[in-house]
Chain A
Amino acid sequence: MLLPFFEWCEGTMIGAGIRDSVWLFPVIESLHLLAFAMIGGVVLLVDFRLFGLGLTREPVAEVGRAVQPWLLASLSVMVVTGVLLFLSEAVKCYSSNPFWVKIAALFLAILFTFTVRRKVVTADEARVGPFWSKLVALISLVLWGTVAWAGRWIGFSA
């Protein structure tokens, strides 16, 4: 059902342009990886803090607020470069299991990060309690970890 849409994506000028270039795909891929390192850093910083690791002298809300702009900026770069990579090989993605795992995990990760996790990060620590803080951090790590892992495996799927 979605296949015609994926075929259309692959046929777009942008998709074809990236495919025709020798170096565009690798460069966009590297930018994607760079933004990934940044998003990984800010997600991990807050998740570690929720676990009671890293910047434990600062309140969770303080750490969360400090890195929020970097989270949004790196996520934007991730999405833009990710869409470009997708356009250049949409039909391959359609039949790639890791791609669908990644999209599902990404959807859940973004949803979770900007709802439940955001609430917990900005809430009063005493009210949330260590158990829920750690559970939220664990779910966040698993979701973003799955996005990274499945993303890498798209490259290994034929």
Chain B
Amino acid sequence: MSLRWVAEWLGTTAGSIALHESVYGYPLLESVHVWGLALFVGMIAIIDLRLTGAVLRQVPVSEVTRRLLPLAIGAFSVMVCSGLLLFYAIPVRTYHSVWFRGKLILLALSGLNGWVFHVNVWRRVADWDRDPIPPRAARAAGVLSLLLWTSIIFSGRLIAYNWFDCDLQPQPGFINWAAGCVIESD
């Protein structure tokens, strides 16, 4: 049983078809995803900018994270739920989308960046909590996070475009490999 099989099976379920064909349901879901984006990436961006020393310099870093992370985490759950439903509505095409696959990798990298930050420079936050401009490692984590979320927004938006879809052949070999296209030879 492959992931492709799971995507194909999902696409045959009544809920997926109903969502895919709905006049209001799908656009509404997209709107929820966009609303969640403003709250989630907005809060993350403010935390990242504080880490780089670009905003709220007089507020301790731990105060910014303690107050804004719960909001970001709440919004993240909205993003994940609406995102899963968006996938559920168009599973096979999305599974083969290079943008979607790239987005998942970028999301993982973003999580990795957060983890590295957490187990390293964050451990000594008491030493630099009130610094207007945090130490280099914290600034680097902030900049990297901003870059990653920017790329995630781009790759997410571009899923809608079909330039690299499997049914638009010929495609470069790399694209067919990255998208996992099954090319039937005749």
Contact = CB atoms under 8 A, between A and B. Distances in A.
Check if A and B associate: yes
Interface of A: 22, 26-27, 29-30, 33-34, 36-45, 48, 53-58, 62-63, 66-67, 70, 145, 148-149, 151-153, 156
A55 B49 CA distance: 15
Nearest to B50: A66
A29 B42 CA distance: 18
A22 B64 CA distance: 41
Interface string B15-57: 0000000000001001100110111011111100100000110
A26 B158 contact: yes
Interface residues of B, number: 33
A138 B30 CA distance: 22
Nearest to A48: B71
B153 interface: yes
Contacts of B150: 34
Interface of B: 27, 30-31, 34-35, 37-39, 41-46, 49, 55-56, 58-59, 63-64, 67-68, 71, 149-150, 153-154, 157-158, 160-161, 163
A41 B30 contact: no
Nearest to B23: A156
Nearest to B27: A156
Contacts of B149: 37
Task: Name B's interface SS.
Answer: helix
B168 to A, nearest CB: 12
30 contacts: A30-B154, A30-B157, A33-B34, A33-B37, A33-B153, A34-B154, A37-B45, A39-B42, A40-B37, A40-B39, A41-B38, A41-B39, A41-B43, A41-B45, A42-B42, A43-B38, A44-B42, A44-B43, A45-B43, A45-B68, A48-B71, A55-B63, A56-B67, A58-B56, A58-B59, A66-B56, A145-B35, A148-B34, A149-B35, A151-B34
A26 B157 contact: yes
A148 B39 CA distance: 12
B42 A55 contact: no
A48 B43 CA distance: 11
A22 B71 contact: no
Contacts of A42: 42, 46
A39 B31 CA distance: 16
